[in-house]
Amino acid sequence: MMRKLLSLTLLALAGSTAFAGGYRVSIQGQKQLAMGHTGVAVVNSAEVAFFNPAGMAYLDNKFNVSVGGNALFAETRFQNSQYNWTASTSNLGTPFSVYATYRITDWLTAGLAVYTPYGSSVEWDQNWQGAHLVNNIDLQAIFVQPTVSVRLGEHFSIGGGPIYARGSVNFNRNITPNPLLSDNGDPADVTLDATGISAWGYNLGMMFNPSEKVRLGLNYRSEIIMEARNGDATFSDVPAIAQGTFSNTRFNADLPLPAEVTTGLSVQVSEKLLLAFDYNYTLWSVYDALVVDFENSVPTSVNARNYKNASTYRLGAQYVATDKFTFRAGWYFDESPVQDGYFAPETPRNDSMGFTGGLTYQVNKKLGIDFSFLYLHFDEVNNSYDHYSDPTAGTGDILPFGGTYKSSVFSPGIGITYGF
């Protein structure tokens, strides 16, 4: 029974990490966010260190810095008309990014990227109808990426560097769908907490400029395995009769963040207008299963997830109106990796469309202030999670949980760009 409970809980944990990827609303730079988060073939600022490190070699200034942050407002509403269930969650995230580049020679540029691609939180009402799957989860992750770019002639460059990822997670859910009540009448729940999770990956890119007006880019970000070790599983409000079963313990689990490939092009249509297109392919099928090992002698648990690979299509435009003002707009369509029957409330992740815009106010030749916004609309979806069984029942019967989900995200942002 303990093995079932913890393996299901860790499955939800991994799902939330995956949803951070899906819920990783693409916010890795103010200028590029405003252009639909295109950037693999755009050389605008030090943000290129994330989108395609090969592009650092083509920055005009010797030294470049881009710093930015967003307020991310995410809302999801749930309804099951059959049982007259309703619930909602409204959450705030604060992703940020810091990029810096320095041209060492005419052919060599070094850079540093610090960003938060997997930080988010989801908090449902405590003890809602889906509390046996999730009450709340808080994910924090920061990536640090030292990078170099080498210019191999006038038209071609390569770049790359290692990625150091560090993060933590705190996750809470009730033990059973039919509340196991404590002596004071509160439902028993479990909290998983893992801190100091770290891992390594890498980012590689190349850029080809066949003419003065056209750039082609290719970028690969590797899979990163986040290794949770000696995490704490803490049980609360467990009735005396069940405390021998539901006692505090530790867990280990490897949580993969998928690799992704991005290719695209940009075209300088005129002196003032730049257009960009990116195609992104994310290898979500790495979530075929989650393997969980426990500190005690409980056998290894293997949990099916069955995610599928997914694509994202991005369009962006930039218009230089005056020496002081540059305007940007963009759009993208993001496919969901979640398949039918695996749709869980900690990952309310279905197909979505993003609408973006923004501008830069150039204070002087060295300093610009960047503004961006994102509205992300998820398709309404009626789906269920069909892989839960009550750990206290002992029957192994599957208890599906489903309904209709409506989600949206709005995120304004601000940043500065400095170069000389």
pLDDT digits (tens, 9 = 90+) for 17-45: 333 334 456 899 999 999 999 999 999 99
Q: What is the DSSP letter of 391?
A: T
Cα–Cα distances in angstroms (integers) from residue 238 to residues 181, 219, 222, 296, 381, in the given order: 7, 50, 42, 20, 35
Does domain 2-419 correspond to CATH entry 2.40.160.60? yes
Amino acid letter, residue 230: N
- The string of DSSP letters for 214-279 reads EEEEEEEE--EEEEEEEEEEEEES--GGGTTTS--EEEEEEEEEPPEEEEEEEEE-SSSEEEEEEE
The radius of gyration of the chain's CA atoms, rounded to the nearest angstrom, is 23
Which residue bears the tokens 């092009």? 265
In the structure, what pLDDT confidence band is assigned to residue 232 with cuts at 50, 70 and 90? Answer: confident
pLDDT of residue 293: 66
Over residues 338-363, the mean pLDDT reads 88
Q: How many CB atoms lie within 10 A of CB 248?
A: 12
For the chain, the domains span: 2-419
Q: Cα–Cα distance between 63 and 267 in angstroms, integer?
A: 25
For residues 363 and 254, the model is more confident at 363
Mean pLDDT of the chain: 87
Sequence-ordered strand ranges (E) for 323-398? 325-334, 352-362, 367-378, 381-385
Over residues 377-390, the mean pLDDT reads 84
Contact between residue 34 and residue 356 where contact means Cβ atoms under 8 Å apart: yes
User: Parallel, antiparallel, or unpaired for β 108-115 and 136-151?
Assistant: antiparallel
Over residues 229-244, the mean pLDDT reads 85
Q: Cα–Cα distance between 284 and 287 in angstroms, integer?
A: 6
pLDDT of residue 291: 64
> Dihedral sign, CA of 58, 59, 63, 66?
negative
- Does residue 323 sit in helix, strand or coil? coil
Contact between residue 197 and residue 167 where contact means Cβ atoms under 8 Å apart: yes
Q: Cα–Cα distance between 165 and 161 in angstroms, integer?
A: 13
